[in-house]
Structure 1
Amino acid sequence: MIDPTILITELTRDLVALDSRSSVSNLAVAERLESELRGFEVERIDYTDRAGVTKRVIVAHRGGGGGIAFSGHMDTVPDTGWQDDPWSARVNGDGMLYGLGSTDMKGPVAAALIAARGLVATLPVTLLLTTDEETTKQGARAIVERSELARSVRPRGILVVEPTTMRPVRGHRSHIAFSCVSLGVQAHSSMGKGRNANWALIPFLAEMKSVHEKLLTDRSLQDDAYDPPFSDFNLVIDNHGTAVNVTVPVATARIKFRYSARIDPTSVRAAVHDAAARHGVTVTEAEEGCPPELAADHPFVAQCIEVSGQSATTAPFGTDASILQAIAPCVVMGPGDIAVAHKPGEAVRIAQLAAAVPVFQALAARLSG
């Protein structure tokens, strides 16, 4: 029998070596994963993203109905800031495997797949392998909306194997992304003929600053079950490359508002739209999905606590659980550290990936009952 550590190392290296940033196709990664799924019923769901790029998600199942589903995503963030090869998948003498997506989350996906494959063949287990998690969650939506296999299997619980150092996360925030656009008239700025879009955007942003400050201070809009307790309201401003001697034709403010299940987003949403209407700013929204959160005493949470030996917590970041909760209750728990994700030098300790396998299998055995 081949050592699971060797299998995980080889599979993780192969996955990391394949460029699957959200802006490009993930077909090569999907095909590599499918090659490891002998004996599973495999359902492929293809779609084209908003940029016209072909994507694929995979649902795989073995055994009877129910049981556990392991979920992970195939895409990665951009390679911003990397000075060496992001896809080298090198393994250093310290037992760390380096590369873009190694922790978030190709290593955890490899560990979950090896764990599922190593289960007794009669034990029910499902894999929900998504893409576009880092952007639109479109892969998870495709599974919820189109997967006949997931619908027929009806797993009892979904473990999203994002890197949490194997601590169970029973709930996390979700977001509303506001895109706020002010229009002007482009001209040479010295001629007095143009209209700078920023002059309408600036008073709107002043009101958004007040919304941000209220979230920091108003206890009724905070949730002490989360760290930090206040909701994120992050602003990015874009003049789309306009030169300083040109009146700005388009000014865009993008705001990501993250909130937990206890927080009603209605007042924040209304504040954004009302301010935009007052200042001639157009607003569009993209919503991630409802924040997933299980009670601290939920049976699935209790089982995750039991097999991991760690207490459950909550997280400020989002995952595919915000979408996949429509299929079954979700807990987020996987090997690796989210603190090293989304930045140069991302790496995962191979020993942590291997140690996750028996924990995943123990949880699968509990849910099969």
Structure 2
Amino acid sequence: MPDLNDPTLRLAADLVAIDSRSFVSNLPVAERVERELRGFEVERLDYRDAKGVAKRAIVAHRGPKGGYALSGHLDTVPATGWESDPWAPRIDAEGVMHGLGSVDMKGQVAAAIVAAQHAGADVPVTLLITADEETTKQGAHVIATRSALAKSLGLKGIIVAEPTSLAPVRGHRSHIAFTATAHGVQAHSSTGKGDNANWKLLPFLAEMRSVFDRLRSDVSLQDADYEPPFSDFNLILDNHGTALNVTVARATAHIKFRYSAKVDPGPVLEAVRGAAQRAGLELAEQHEGKPPELPADHPLVALGVALTGVSAKTAPYGTDASELQALAPCLVLGPGDVGTAHTPHERVRAQDLLDAVPLFGRVLEAGKG
């Protein structure tokens, strides 16, 4: 039975135990990772996110130049809905590790680091460790645009570790995040002196429902190579803590639109921008890199298929590959089931993490010469 005495599982547990939700600093967990990188050339890329929170991305290299990089992120989603301590990692009697980030994706980071540590001296080994993958992909963007070390290596490709059940993912969607804001006047709702910003949002939201429906019915905006074929268009509303007896001074609609490489985002951009203008709303946009998608016969896809014995597929979610593809072709591959990610029951089979170590090692070995 796998237990926490194993170096991979011990490291995974150590990383899970450090709170690194995207809205807090990841410096403590980055420093824990750096303790594993003795003998590597380490480049620290420090930055502050949009809210001024200190973050760090890491590029580490050992051995000859070239070869393949292993990439993973250190941030997690919020701990919404957890009834147990999300930062108390444990392995149960069935050999399953529980904890926030266990599958998405500190377990993968641990497996990648251990595989890198075990690689031979003649093997080119590169690790790309990011932050903010769950939000803006800013850590990956910083590596892709600022890392002198990564750019100097002439990488053949990048394995972006995510929970794919060790099936190679050759392409996925990227997102555009829209933030539409309406302003009103705060007052006690009984006085009639307030101006509720929610009413100003309603015309915009009605048009957004039409966009949502069109994405699910208009085949020209769909991609049959993905499941589901229609693009995600997810809406979250925020009244910023306003009480029920107070008129809303600020109302915000957040929409995440995911699209694949074959889908033109232009009609959706035009519809959202037009609706916001007609409703008199402020509109902000945050764009990821273009959706990464390798052809089925690409050499990196062929390598992934050969090493796993599993056919390549596409995925409806997004990863750091949308930014890291600027450095080298990306294939998404890692242990665990994405179905438990972003849930209050996040978990991963310990054996899956252990099985990923030799697989990642074979990827690195394939980069020689």
Q: One fold, TM greater than 0.5?
A: yes
Given that residues 66 and 124 in structure 1 are in contact (C-alpha distance below 8 angstroms), is that contact kept between their aligned partners in structure 2?
yes
Give the match's secondary structure for 2:196.
coil
In the alignment, which residue of structure 2 is the partner of 1:357? Answer: 357
In the alignment, which residue of structure 1 is the partner of 2:55? Answer: 55
Q: TM-score, normalised by structure 1?
A: 0.96
Distance 1:31 1:165 in 2: 28
Give the match's secondary structure for 2:13.
helix
Residue 189 of structure 1: how far off its partner (Å): 3.0
Give the match's secondary structure for 1:310.
coil
Counterparts of residues 1-369 of structure 1 (less than 5 Å): 6-369=6-369
Distance 2:230 2:253 in 1: 21
Deviations 1:291-322 (A, max 9, x none): 11111111100110000111111111111101
Give the match's secondary structure for 1:368.
coil
Distance 2:119 2:211 in 1: 50
Distance 1:226 1:338 in 2: 16
Distance 2:28 2:284 in 1: 34
Residue 5 of structure 1: how far off its partner (Å): 8.0
Deviations 1:57-77 (A, max 9, x none): 110111111100000001111
Given that residues 79 and 86 in structure 1 are in contact (C-alpha distance below 8 angstroms), is that contact kept between their aligned partners in structure 2?
yes
Residue 31 of structure 1: how far off its partner (Å): 1.7
Given that residues 4 and 354 in structure 1 are in contact (C-alpha distance below 8 angstroms), is that contact kept between their aligned partners in structure 2?
no
Given that residues 4 and 114 in structure 1 are in contact (C-alpha distance below 8 angstroms), is that contact kept between their aligned partners in structure 2?
no
The runs of at least 4 aligned residues of structure 1 exceeding 4 Å deviation read none
5+ long unaligned stretches in structure 2:
none
Q: TM-score, normalised by structure 2?
A: 0.96
Which residue type is aligned with residue 40 of structure 2? F
Distance 2:197 2:92 in 1: 51
Cα distance change on mapping 1:244 and 1:4 into 2, 3 Å: closer
5+ long unaligned stretches in structure 1:
none
Deviations 1:55-113 (A, max 9, x none): 11110111111100000001111111111111111122211111110111111111111
Given that residues 98 and 348 in structure 1 are in contact (C-alpha distance below 8 angstroms), is that contact kept between their aligned partners in structure 2?
yes
Which residue type is aligned with residue 241 of structure 1? G
Q: Identify which range, 211-220 or 178-187, moves more after superposition.
A: 178-187
Which residue type is aligned with residue 308 of structure 2? S
Q: How many residues are aligned here?
A: 367
Give the match's secondary structure for 1:193.
coil
Cα distance change on mapping 1:67 and 1:4 into 2, 3 Å: farther
Given that residues 4 and 10 in structure 2 are in contact (C-alpha distance below 8 angstroms), is that contact kept between their aligned partners in structure 1?
no
Distance 1:5 1:153 in 2: 35
Distance 1:4 1:128 in 2: 25
Deviations 1:319-350 (A, max 9, x none): 11010000000000001111111111211111
Residue 51 of structure 1: how far off its partner (Å): 2.4
Residue 46 of structure 1: how far off its partner (Å): 1.2
Q: Identify which range, 158-167 or 132-141, moves more after superposition.
A: 132-141
Deviations 1:120-141 (A, max 9, x none): 1111110000111111211111
Give the match's secondary structure for 1:149.
helix
